[in-house]
Chains A and B, each alone.
Chain A
């Protein structure tokens, strides 16, 4: 369904002395039709940048993105615009994902109007149908986003996304700004909708439990690189990369992170995880490791695994 090859996104700062921040530094993965890929990593590791690059909401520096056989990075603006409704994104903050000056009903009707082909009555019917699908009350149509809770707004966002009949959805921490009880509701709703509408999902989160609940496969990211990718079982039961182990072990301490946060910019060659790795060797600091497949579909970015 979607195939990403060596995707890179550098942000540069400074005018005279340019410095590059390698937000995403050579990432490759595939997502099959109907599959959910979970993308985990601590904040600032480039998860969101990947999501936004895939949709070309920001232009990637280099790489290749194939969506359903179409090379996204070589599309013209017009073609991209026509293709876009097939891919959708759900953002972290549901309240900010809706225009504060538009009623809920109008927000949901907007994609239908943009696509054209429906008259007013049909749009109205479709809107109430969608509202029911995501579990909202019909009377919510005339409310404004600020009159609804975060969870309700996220349902509205889902309804709007479904209105365009997408094939592929990127959910960027869709529940992290919601209460725990509401989180579960939204996640279950998403799982339900995914089955009903046969969706392909890229689920981005820093919360391992959430990702475990949602995904078929998981990719673990660290500082702009995917360090391990595999099925949910492989990641949780049989993790090979030391970073994955730190992530899933309950004892992973904040102290570790704080110490090595200072060293962030200290080195530029070798393994990204070198400064924090408990098994690091001299070679790790010099030679950049390559992805190795250690089981079917289970890839690890570490030279020491084999």
Chain B
């Protein structure tokens, strides 16, 4: 396992795109973790409203006088938290079900029809509809993202398990007297972990975008500070586009979202290259 990891890191190091992505992501994660120390003001504290950027408020203040820079910094926290929690839970559920569905053929066949149903529904519109009916809160958002996120992982993991299950070494281990649970945990799960990681990263970037969309549409939690919420209030402000306000009120939040998704996508691409079976021999 340790050698695996080292070889893996060596492979990752060669990927420029992966390093750039990782750099951006680490920046955002650090900002999220140390938000209370970095942010100059409490994002809920109100000062003079709609100030242009000045030495007190680097990005000015919003319509009710909250410091926009502090909002952004705390918003990183909320956005990343939702993204990672829901993608981790979704990957966990998707991986477990994918393993079972791939290993037990009959169950898997019927189970995949359910997954097909999920996948056939356009995700974002339905999320919007459901979010509109639920009370907006972070945990409800996470629930929605998990609910719609796991089928992708389940499907990918299942197809990998289908091929792993028929490898001779699985038969060999079965002949040694191993049970299904043992084979799944010891011999199949470790071989799908790389795929799970890639899937988790991709899922996280989906969630960042979906969360921003929902908040932007006013379906997020109005009291928490997330990037989508900043955009939402900015958009609602009457003169946002006729004045210069959008430059420091909307643009930074939009860029944050863009760069987070970009970094996650870069990391996903780099990882995908590494776990691609054609290149696998070099990293194993």
Contact = CB atoms under 8 A, between A and B. Distances in A.
Interface of A: 52, 55, 57, 81-82, 84-85, 87-89, 91-93, 96-101, 110-111, 114-115, 144, 146, 157, 160, 164
5 contacts: A88-B175, A93-B168, A96-B169, A97-B172, A146-B284
Contacts of B172: 89, 91, 97-98, 157, 160
A99 B3 CA distance: 15
Contact of A114 (B4, B178, B190): B178
Contacts of B177: 81-82, 84-85, 111, 114-115, 164
Given A100-B191, A101-B190, A110 B168 contact: no
B169 A81 contact: no
Contacts of A101: 1, 4, 190-191, 284
A96 B168 contact: yes
The 5 closest A-B pairs by CB, nearest first: A91-B168, A111-B176, A97-B168, A85-B177, A96-B168
B173 interface: yes
A137 B81 CA distance: 51
Contacts of B167: 96
B113 interface: no
A110 B169 contact: no
A85 B171 contact: no
A89 B187 CA distance: 18
B278 interface: no
Given A91-B168, A96-B169, A101-B4, A57 B175 contact: yes
A157 B190 CA distance: 21
B174 interface: yes
B176 A160 contact: yes
A81 B173 CA distance: 11
Given A96-B168, A97-B169, A101-B190, A146 B281 contact: yes
Contacts of A100: 191, 284
B284 A144 contact: yes
Contacts of B171: 52, 57, 89, 91
Given A52-B171, A99-B187, A146-B281, 18 more contacts: A81-B177, A81-B179, A82-B177, A84-B175, A85-B175, A88-B176, A91-B168, A91-B171, A96-B169, A99-B169, A99-B191, A100-B191, A100-B284, A101-B191, A111-B177, A114-B176, A115-B177, A144-B284
